[in-house]
């Protein structure tokens, strides 16, 4: 079956977080795609709606089978049934883990720039954020292992949150890197939490590696968060899972999730996950191809029209991390300017950490026609910004001269 990703679905006035913007604005920020989900999922949910009863829901065997089947087929990793716990979302699971597995005043380590909501899960629960800043060599990101070890060795650091693949830099961590992280976490008694929500959104011919699959130590000392929500564009259904091979950690985490009341599914969460992970393969493969074409379009456009920008090398997610340091050091004002002047709504890099300040994040999960509109707006926005910068510089020179003259 051929799936169509070119439909310009109108999401205005639908209470969409992404599309609740002013008329004429084009949102390319939050990680939410403009595509309808797989028809197989829509059909299953329509059937559910047709029955008209939305009572309390249980987690059936099919849910466990669908997840472990998917990971076995697509990621070559065997997940045992008892390792899995349903959760209403990855962020609720992370917040719950922070509360249950660490204590107030302890440190939780993150690798910045990183998905900004990790900061909330840590700070809102009275824990400290410790940053292991990723090293950027002007092309791609790598881990500063000397700094990582120093920070994990601090006895106050009790949890590390890994983003695998990484949002916003789009990196798929390789086996050796994950193994090294796992070894250090084990050595310093730091619990590893691996957020793998973007794992199915890799470029064609690239595969992610589940953290728990790389070594015995990684498996025994980790909580992994997984979900069909990013890959199948069903974030609003609030359906995720935590996967914990270690029985002791699992028991504790199960208590945490239940105490926080985030372990019970809504009426659509289970069907959607089962169908996605059982029948979603063909749709997802075509989606990945479409996203990769979009990436090629953006690269070609930026290379030819905006060579002062640089797209960081990445092999996962539909989010592009764009280095704007040759235009500006802090994109906060640039993003506001572009939005005001062209309506294009991008994410400013500073929200992902101080070291993300000279970047912007662009969501390219939309039909090509809309993508081209976004690129044109970006081009206009940057052009206008450069022009206004020149005018401002000229203005201040005139002012300087005036002062000089008056002196």
Ligand X SMILES: Cc1ncc(COP(=O)(O)O)c(C=O)c1O
Rounded to a whole number of angstroms, the minimum distance from the CB of residue 376 to ligand X is: 26
Place of tokens 């996962």: 316
Could you say which of 27, 89, 113, 343 contacts ligand X (CB under 6 A)?
Answer: 89
Residue 273 binds to ligand X (criterion: CB under 6 A) = no
Could you say which of 227, 234, 322, 382 contacts ligand X (CB under 6 A)?
Answer: 227
Cβ proximity to ligand X: between 77 and 318 the closer is 318
Residue 90 binds to ligand X (criterion: CB under 6 A) = yes
Cβ proximity to ligand X: between 115 and 283 the closer is 115
Cβ proximity to ligand X: between 236 and 395 the closer is 236
Rounded to a whole number of angstroms, the minimum distance from the CB of residue 326 to ligand X is: 27
Rounded to a whole number of angstroms, the minimum distance from the CB of residue 229 to ligand X is: 5
Rounded to a whole number of angstroms, the minimum distance from the CB of residue 404 to ligand X is: 51
Residue 208 binds to ligand X (criterion: CB under 6 A) = no
Query: Of 37-45, 86-94, 279-287, 363-371, which part binds ligand X (CB under 6 A)?
Result: 86-94
Site for ligand X in 166-185 (CB under 6 A): 167
Beta-strand pair 157-163/141-142: unpaired
Cβ proximity to ligand X: between 273 and 306 the closer is 273
Residue 240 binds to ligand X (criterion: CB under 6 A) = yes
Could you say which of 68, 221, 229, 233 contacts ligand X (CB under 6 A)?
Answer: 229
Cβ proximity to ligand X: between 87 and 334 the closer is 87
Could you say which of 195, 271, 348, 373 contacts ligand X (CB under 6 A)?
Answer: 195
Residue 320 binds to ligand X (criterion: CB under 6 A) = no
Cβ proximity to ligand X: between 35 and 115 the closer is 115
Give which of 184, 176, 136 is closest to 157, Cα–Cα. Answer: 184
Rounded to a whole number of angstroms, the minimum distance from the CB of residue 15 to ligand X is: 16
Residue 365 binds to ligand X (criterion: CB under 6 A) = no
Give which of 30, 123, 48, 12 is closest to 275, Cα–Cα. Answer: 48
Binding residues for ligand X (CB under 6 A): 31, 89-91, 115, 163, 167, 195, 197, 227, 229, 235, 240
């Amino acid at each position: 079956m051929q799936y169509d990703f070119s439909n310009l679905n109108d999401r205005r006035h639908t209470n969409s977080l992404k599309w609740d913007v002013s008329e004429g604005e084009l949102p390319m920020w939050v990680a939410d795609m403009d595509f309808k989900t797989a028809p197989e999922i829509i059909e299953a949910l329509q059937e559910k709606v047709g029955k008209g009863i939305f009572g309390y829901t249980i987690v059936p065997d099919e849910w466990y089978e669908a997840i472990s089947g998917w990971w076995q087929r697509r990621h070559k990793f065997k997940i045992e049934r008892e390792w899995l716990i349903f959760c209403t979302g990855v962020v609720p699971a992370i917040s719950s883990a922070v509360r249950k597995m660490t204590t107030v005043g302890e440190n939780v380590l993150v690798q910045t720039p990183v998905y900004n909501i990790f900061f909330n899960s840590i700070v809102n629960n009275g824990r400290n954020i410790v940053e292991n800043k990723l090293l950027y060599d002007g092309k791609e990101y790598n881990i500063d292992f000397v700094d990582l070890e120093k920070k994990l060795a601090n006895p106050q650091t009790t949890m590390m949150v890994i983003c695998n693949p990484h949002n916003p830099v789009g990196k798929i961590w390789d086996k050796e890197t994950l193994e090294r992280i796992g070894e250090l976490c084990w050595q310093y008694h730091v619990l590893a939490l691996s957020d793998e929500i973007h794992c199915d959104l890799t470029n064609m011919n690239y595969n992610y590696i589940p953290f728990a699959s790389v070594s015995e130590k990684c498996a025994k000392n980790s909580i992994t968060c997984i979900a069909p929500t990013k890959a199948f564009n069903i974030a609003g259904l609030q359906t995720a899972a935590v996967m914990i091979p270690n029985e002791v950690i699992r028991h504790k985490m199960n208590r945490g999730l239940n105490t926080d009341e985030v372990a019970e599914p809504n009426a659509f969460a289970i069907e959607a996950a089962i169908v996605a992970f059982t029948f979603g393969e063909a749709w997802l493969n075509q989606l990945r191809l479409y996203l990769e074409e979009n990436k090629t379009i953006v690269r070609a456009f930026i290379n030819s029209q905006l060579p002062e920008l640089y797209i960081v090398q990445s092999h996962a997610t539909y989010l592009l991390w764009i280095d704007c340091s040759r235009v500006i050091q802090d994109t906060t004002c640039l993003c506001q300017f572009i939005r005001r002047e062209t309506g294009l709504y991008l994410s400013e890099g500073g929200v992902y950490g101080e070291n993300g300040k000279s970047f912007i994040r662009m969501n390219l999960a939309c039909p090509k026609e809309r993508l081209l509109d976004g690129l044109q707006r970006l081009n206009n926005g940057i052009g206008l910004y450069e022009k206004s910068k020149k005018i401002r510089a000229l203005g201040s020179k005139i002012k300087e001269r005036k002062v000089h003259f008056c002196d």
